[in-house]
């Protein structure tokens, strides 16, 4: 009878210890798998994906349309109701997986992951003026809803102001 508790203690202790290090082959295998998925069309190639369209996650919304002089126009809306929210729009420029955003004096670089846009967790203090209450644009993360420019152009603030006004024809 005493052997059963002793065996249980040995089994528990055998599970303790350091975890084996991941081999570099695992990272290489994952990269190869992702490349194969991109080649076959299972996942979008983030280097070729277009930013234009509507993006959302929960109550956070982003619109992106073609802007003037080859730039994009990006609008962001965070609406938690009861005077808690943010609204901003301005020019944006993509460079690979980075998107330089300028909401007036609020300037930062967001990440573009092909199917998601992620704002940095820390933004300049000048971005605070774009929000009311305790809301913030920091760490805003949205996923693609649509690639439609017409849909992106409809995003409005609670006051009715369009955030992604299309570029005027020349």
Q: What is the pLDDT, as a whole number, of residue 36?
A: 87
Share of the chain above pLDDT 70, in %: 81
- Is 135 a residue whose pLDDT tops 90? yes
Indicate the SS3 state at residue 98: strand
- Is 24 a residue whose pLDDT tops 60? no
Q: What is the pLDDT, as a whole number, of residue 7?
A: 45
- Is 44 a residue whose pLDDT tops 90? no
Average pLDDT over residues 132-146: 97
Average pLDDT over residues 151-162: 96
Model's pTM, two decimal places?
0.75
Q: What is the pLDDT, as a whole number, of residue 70?
A: 85
Q: What is the pLDDT, as a whole number, of residue 10?
A: 46
């Amino acid at each position: 009878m005493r052997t059963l508790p002793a065996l249980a203690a040995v089994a528990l202790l055998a599970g303790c210890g350091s975890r084996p290090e991941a081999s570099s082959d695992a990272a290489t295998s994952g990269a190869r798998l992702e490349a194969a998925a991109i080649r076959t069309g299972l996942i979008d190639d983030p280097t070729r994906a277009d930013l234009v369209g509507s993006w959302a996650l929960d109550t956070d919304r982003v619109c992106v349309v073609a802007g003037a002089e080859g730039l994009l126009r990006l609008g962001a809306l965070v609406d938690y109701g009861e005077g808690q929210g943010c609204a901003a729009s301005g020019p944006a420029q993509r460079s690979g997986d980075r998107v330089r955003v300028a909401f007036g004096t609020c300037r930062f670089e967001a990440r573009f992951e092909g199917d998601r846009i992620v704002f940095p967790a820390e933004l300049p203090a000048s971005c605070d003026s774009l929000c009311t209450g305790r809301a913030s644009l920091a760490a805003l993360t949205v996923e693609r809803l649509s690639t439609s420019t017409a849909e992106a152009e409809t995003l409005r603030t609670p006051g009715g102001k369009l955030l992604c006004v299309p570029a005027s024809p020349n």
